[in-house]
Amino acid sequence: MGVIPHNIPSLLSTLLSFSALREWFKLFIIGGAIETCRRYYSNLWNWVVERFWLQVTFDEDDCSYEWMMFWLSRQPAWKQTRSLEISTRDYGLTSPAVCIDGEDEERSTSREMTYLPSLSTSYSMWYKGHYVIITRTSVNNGIYRTKENLHLSILARDNSVLTEMLMEAKNLYKAAEEMTVAVYASNVSNNWRRITSRPKRPLNSIILDPGIKELLLNDARDFLDSREWYADRGIPFRRGYLLYGAPGSGKTSMIQSIAGELGLDVYILTLSRPGMDDNTLCELISELPRRCIALMEDIDAAFRRGISMRNLQENEYEPEPEEARQEKGKAEDASRVTLSGLLNALDGIGAQEGRILFATTNDYAALDPALCRPGRMDIHVEFKLASKFQVEGLYKCFYMPSKNEEVVDDEKSDDSGYASRDPSPERALSEAAPDTIDGSTGATISTSGAFVSVRSSPRGITLSGKKICELAAQFAAAIPEREISMASLQGYLMMYKVRPLDAIVDAPEWVERERAEKAARRRKAGTKPSP
């Protein structure tokens, strides 16, 4: 048995005498050198990338992601790319896109197809002399959805080219939505997502009693221009409007028109959304932009308890059926927003400033006074059923001739032609048919002169503005004051789009049917089920 060396040099000499160990030692030295070089060059590459490449990431939940995706879909460079994703998504906009050849002819009748970068694939393009690498990725964001990100790598020494690209994308997006109102809603992740764009509605298309439109619009415009005035006096920079009244009286349409006039986006707060609670509501309101409209529709129906006092008073001593209790329990489990949580979100310490709040309700008396006080709902406006003034204005809005229509002289206009009843087969059939037709399914179909197809009515010379004003007064005389909603009147006139005289002739009969239907609904609502 050999002698074990007792000093280090002799120990190393003994170990190196083994050939296998010498080879492992060489590999260790070479591997360490290679790893050192790899790390050095990796750090050098990262340094070069940091100095010469801009790395940008856009999150799907952010508005800038929509700007960039909209901008990329309009780039002609995608027509030469070999790997693409074909999408009909318009990101809430209706601006012309870089479409597939042949799509221009079908753009008015179908959803257009656009080119977009495919997921998990890198693409390159040139932008103002700078090389750009684009990558879309998708990652799991919980159980129910995936989340997309957009990564851009730009070969540039400074951020100026990135700023130009972002401003170009933003301006292109804003130009495409110039005539629209963006509508946002919260998703399951409690982030605001753009869901659609609505065309801006001209203020003159909203027919209300004199002074109401001007009051709301001027007050909202004055509020947006008074930030310094509020700050100097220590008043929270918030404004709330409560629009109440009969259904179909124009509350939501007025809000849409104000949003278009002021250039504001609309953020819908659905208090009855499943999973909504006080903390979620406060978080959503705190994330609102400084200049926007927050909309709470039908706020009286958003709660089962805590905000509506009438239901408790009316049903305090009545036993509740089992099915009703189950439905109530499901609703309470779905939404856990309380009145105190709503009040705190509206004007608490974490409430967002700069926003305009619009709330609508059909039952003003059912709201808690704490919700309606100034500071939360500063201006209360009642929207009533149609007045004579509104009826006349709506008639003019439907039939007043446009600039491109040929107008007949007043002396030549009479009760003939396209403006009067057409003795078509459809008309004769509707007049000969009984008032209702009961099928085997129990459905009831009401028939009247208004059921005539618009296409079956001949188009003739448009009546003059003076004649339309005279007919509008006659139509207003046939409609009772404050009995019918503007939505019902609009639905009625839609059946007479090219027959203004028939609309007047058939109005009394239609009014009687409306009264009968309202009476039937009231009787049905007032009938309690037998035990």
Sheet holding 122-127, edge to edge: 53-59, 146-155, 130-140, 122-127
Is the Cβ–Cβ distance between 487 and 247 less than 8 Å?
A: yes
- Kind of pairing, strands 146-155 and 53-59? antiparallel
Distant-in-sequence, close-in-space partners of 481: CB < 8 Å, separation ≥ 6: 387, 388
What does the pLDDT look like over 78-128, one tens digit per residue? 767 777 777 766 555 544 344 445 554 444 445 666 667 777 788 888 898
pLDDT above 60: residue 290: yes
Q: What is the pLDDT of residue 412?
A: 53
Return the CATH architecture of domain 192-316+327-383: 3-Layer(aba) Sandwich (3.40)
Is the Cβ–Cβ distance between 288 and 232 less than 8 Å?
A: no
Closest to 71 in 3D by CA, of 139, 135, 167, 180: 167
Q: What is the pLDDT of residue 79?
A: 67
- Alpha-carbon torsion angle 428, 432, 436, 437, nearest 10: -90
- In the chain, domain spans: 53-177, 192-316+327-383, 388-526
Distant-in-sequence, close-in-space partners of 190: CB < 8 Å, separation ≥ 6: 280, 283, 284
What secondary structure does DSSP assign to 379-432, as a single string? EEEEE-SPPHHHHHHHHHHHHS--TTS-B--TTT--S-GGGS----HHHHHHHH
Distant-in-sequence, close-in-space partners of 321: CB < 8 Å, separation ≥ 6: 529
pTM: 0.75
Is the Cβ–Cβ distance between 114 and 176 less than 8 Å?
A: no
Region of 520 on the Ramachandran plot (φ > 0 left; ψ -120 to 50 alpha; else beta): alpha
Q: What is the pLDDT of residue 234?
A: 92
Q: What is the pLDDT of residue 359?
A: 96
pLDDT above 70: residue 306: no
More confident residue, 312 or 178: 178
Calculate mean pLDDT across residues 67-81. 80
Is the Cβ–Cβ distance between 502 and 420 less than 8 Å?
A: yes
CA distance 396 to 503: 12
- Kind of pairing, strands 192-199 and 356-361? unpaired
Specify the range with the lowest mean pLDDT, choosing from 19-23, 70-74, 421-425, 523-527: 421-425
Q: What is the pLDDT of residue 208?
A: 94
Q: Which amino acid, residue 456?
A: S
Distant-in-sequence, close-in-space partners of 246: CB < 8 Å, separation ≥ 6: 362, 383, 384, 385, 485
CA distance 457 to 449: 12
